[in-house]
Structure 1
């Protein structure tokens, strides 16, 4: 039984990590706008709204950033017209990538500005019609040649979930949770002492060891639901 449970945890974490980059997937039709009321266990109704304005895209995207840094983050991403634009200028070390409203589910991310050349290169290659493997191989070759660089220790925070409804008072997306990535290009399990597979939820492990995309994955436990 323990082996079965571990297998489910491992599979869930891999799916979670592999779904983090919505900037490198094709556009889909947006879901219909809607507002629902959810009754919590303490009897207080919570109004949940569709993320259907640029303001809502910005507000929910900022939930991926550390709370104390949100006011200074630059926000980029697809607006409601389907245009990839700078949605808000910033003045600190973080860039926030808003959810793509033309794709199913919700995924926003926050990363250190030094990662932007690497991220932008991926977006450019995707726009050229390159496959995921072609993007991976191209960026790895460019990392090896010195054309691209991922600074060791740079971070990525991903705020994601299956739902696209949010609380307009708190900007929290229903069911979304955070996971964290710390990039360590070319690192291995031997050089870091980290396992190559997750041992449990909320435990760090090394994904893509030995490659340009080697990184520490930390997938926190879901927040307690009231």
Structure 2
């Protein structure tokens, strides 16, 4: 009898073990989990640096220019000592105005070298204490008199964002985006067919129509787009 009871107990233990094993499945990661892991891994791989040296100002300024043109771009702007200087010499068609380290956020502007007289005039007027409305009016009058000139079609692109750290390996300022400008002095909605307000994000429109500073504006898509 004891042998029979022992057999039944042993059999019960085996059944219990088998049943328990069937309920245990290998842990599987969902696509969402995999995506989160990859994202975390990518974030950890970023080598973010502060924009706190002249070298960093030059490196991030060049990110505003097309990649194939960066090595030969001229870079100007305020250095870390607060002096407006040529940070890097260049000999191609682009001039880049580096981020101003005394101002919040990040902003670098890359424009065609033929726009430099117009840009330099604006900097000089601001240095005299003129506000933006006065700068606009003075340059408008000087354009009408032929003292300043903007060739239609000259471009400017602004690389900007709220953060002041960058990934040197990826050549990106964290969270920064590009906004594009194409100058068309005196152009209007009627002369171009473009609206005076954007119809949607990333759509071209004409800003300052009918003035010396009329230009086609193309702003970036929102960062949080799907």
- Same fold? TM cut 0.5: yes
Please give the root-mean-square deviation of Cα atoms over the aligned residues, in Å. 1.8
Partner of 2:84: 84
- Aligned mates of 1:179, 1:101 — CA distance in 2: 20
Per-residue Cα deviation, 1:41-94 (whole angstroms, up to 9, x for no partner)? 151312222100111000000111011111110000000000000011101000
Structure 1: which 5+ runs fail to align?
Answer: 1-38
- Aligned mates of 1:92, 1:224 — CA distance in 2: 35
Contact 1:75 1:98 in 2 (8 A): yes
TM-score by length of 1: 0.80
Contact 2:201 2:222 in 1 (8 A): no
Per-residue Cα deviation, 1:161-204 (whole angstroms, up to 9, x for no partner)? 01111113233111000010000000000000000001111100
Higher helix share: 2
- Aligned mates of 1:189, 1:138 — CA distance in 2: 24
Q: How does 1:7-46 map to 2 (within 5 A)?
A: 41-44=39-42, 45=44, 46=46
Structure 2: which 5+ runs fail to align?
Answer: 1-36
TM-score by length of 2: 0.80
- Aligned mates of 1:66, 1:166 — CA distance in 2: 17
Partner of 2:157: 157
Partner of 1:50: 50
- Aligned mates of 1:40, 1:66 — CA distance in 2: 29
Partner of 2:96: 96
Tell me how far 1:102 sits from its aligned partner: 0.5
Tell me how far 1:210 sits from its aligned partner: 0.2
- Aligned mates of 2:182, 2:110 — CA distance in 1: 12
Q: Which has the higher contact order (CA 8 A, sep 6+)?
A: 1
Contact 1:177 1:222 in 2 (8 A): no
Count of residues in correspondence between the two structures: 188
Q: Which runs of at least 4 in structure 1 moved beyond 6 Å after TM superposition?
A: none
- C-alpha spacing 1:123/1:62, structure 2 compared with 1 (3 Å): same
